[in-house]
């Protein structure tokens, strides 16, 4: 009997710890909007002296204000795959944070093919998640030091100049394989984009390839007129640009509809571009809005 009682108590605790998706009316009644943003990811979401900063932090605050709510940030340490992040913060929760889910998650690649992808039995893989609200177009970018490398009109120049990339990143795989591997010897790997950028400033490499937003922020911080963005293209790179959006639980489309309307107003009024400008980041409209401009 004591064993049965113990098992019942354990099951009760587990049940209470399970993450619960908050309905739209519960979110409004609580007065708080829980928003998941990526940790240590400038210029989008990071902390300075313990204070949250970044494009996505400002956007989360603006959306919460418009909904008449306070914002509560949930900091995401990225998993190996996007599915891990969506599972841990949108529909199931993580065993290290029992009972904790976000109402809204930012910086989710807005990809209809991914969102509608079927599994082996013909079911939608991400059936627990609704991805919506594209609010930015991101792309790969090269920044170079013009005294050592005056111009980058083709990636072929990296047969003769060193370029820094983050380890295990898309630019890493791309530059070590493109042009039959002829750029591999001059592709230097670093633990982070920041470390690669510092290496360029120290003269160890002549350029860096990374996401445009991250490089815009680093150039903005450096305030060095010799650091330029290249205009070259990336032959055979499968996806040189992509749109960034948001995610909610599939059952919470009412929240998504409210946020979507606010986003459209911010994008069309130019307010979104102003948020990006605070961090020195070039703002490019997502494809949904480019198509109708």
Using 50, 70 and 90 to split pLDDT, how confident is the model at 3? Answer: very low
Q: Of 115 and 269, which is predicted with more confidence?
A: 269
Q: Of 13 and 163, which is predicted with more confidence?
A: 163
User: Measured between alpha carbons, how far is residue 124 from residues 6, 80, 104, 108, 130 in Å?
Assistant: 39, 20, 21, 18, 11
Using 50, 70 and 90 to split pLDDT, how confident is the model at 100? Answer: confident
Residue pLDDT, tens place only, 243-281: 999 999 999 999 999 999 999 999 999 999 999 999 999
pLDDT of residue 16: 40
Using 50, 70 and 90 to split pLDDT, how confident is the model at 99? Answer: confident
Q: Residues 143-160: what's their mean pLDDT? A: 97
Domains in the chain: ranges and CATH: 15-137+243-290 (3.40.190.10), 139-229 (3.40.190.10)
Report field, pTM of the whole predicted structure over 0.85? yes
Q: Which residues, in sequence order, are CB contacts of 74 under 8 Å at separation 6+?
A: 34, 35, 36, 37, 89, 100, 102
Residue pLDDT, tens place only, 28-39: 999 999 999 999
Question: Does the pLDDT at position 2 exceed 90?
Answer: no
pLDDT of residue 263: 97
pLDDT of residue 80: 87
Percent of the chain scoring above 90 in pLDDT? 79
Q: Which residues, in sequence order, are CB contacts of 110 under 8 Å at separation 6+?
A: 131, 132, 133, 134, 242, 243, 244, 245, 286
pLDDT of residue 51: 97
Q: Of 198 and 4, which is predicted with more confidence?
A: 198
Q: Residues 166-173: what's their mean pLDDT? A: 96
Cross-strand pairs, 24: none
């Amino acid at each position: 009997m004591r064993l049965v009682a113990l098992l019942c108590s354990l099951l009760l605790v587990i049940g209470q710890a399970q993450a619960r998706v908050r309905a739209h009316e519960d979110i409004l009644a609580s007065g708080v909007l829980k928003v998941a943003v990526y940790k240590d990811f400038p210029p989008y979401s990071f902390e300075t002296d313990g204070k949250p900063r970044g494009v996505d932090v400002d956007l989360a605050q603006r959306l919460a204000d418009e909904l008449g709510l306070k914002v509560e940030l949930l900091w995401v340490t990225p998993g190996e795959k996007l599915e891990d992040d969506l599972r841990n913060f949108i529909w199931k929760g993580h065993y290290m944070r029992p009972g904790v889910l976000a109402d809204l998650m930012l910086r989710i690649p807005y990809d209809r093919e991914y969102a509608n992808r079927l599994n082996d039995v013909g079911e939608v893989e991400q059936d627990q998640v609704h991805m919506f609200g594209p609010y930015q177009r991101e792309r790969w970018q090269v920044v170079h030091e013009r005294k050592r490398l005056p111009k980058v009109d083709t990636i072929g120049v990296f047969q003769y100049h060193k370029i820094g990339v983050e380890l295990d990143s898309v630019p890493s795989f791309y530059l070590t394989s493109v042009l039959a591997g002829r750029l591999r010897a001059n592709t230097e790997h670093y633990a982070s984009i920041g470390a690669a950028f510092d290496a360029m400033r120290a003269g160890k490499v002549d350029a860096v390839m990374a996401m445009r937003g991250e490089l815009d922020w680093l150039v903005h911080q450096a305030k060095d007129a010799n650091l330029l963005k290249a205009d070259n293209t990336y032959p055979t790179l499968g996806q040189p640009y992509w749109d960034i959006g948001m995610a909610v639980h599939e059952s919470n489309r009412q929240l998504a509809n409210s946020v979507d309307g606010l986003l459209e107003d911010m994008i069309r009024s130019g307010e979104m571009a102003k948020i990006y400008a605070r961090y020195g980041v070039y703002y490019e409209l997502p494809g949904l809005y480019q198509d109708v401009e």
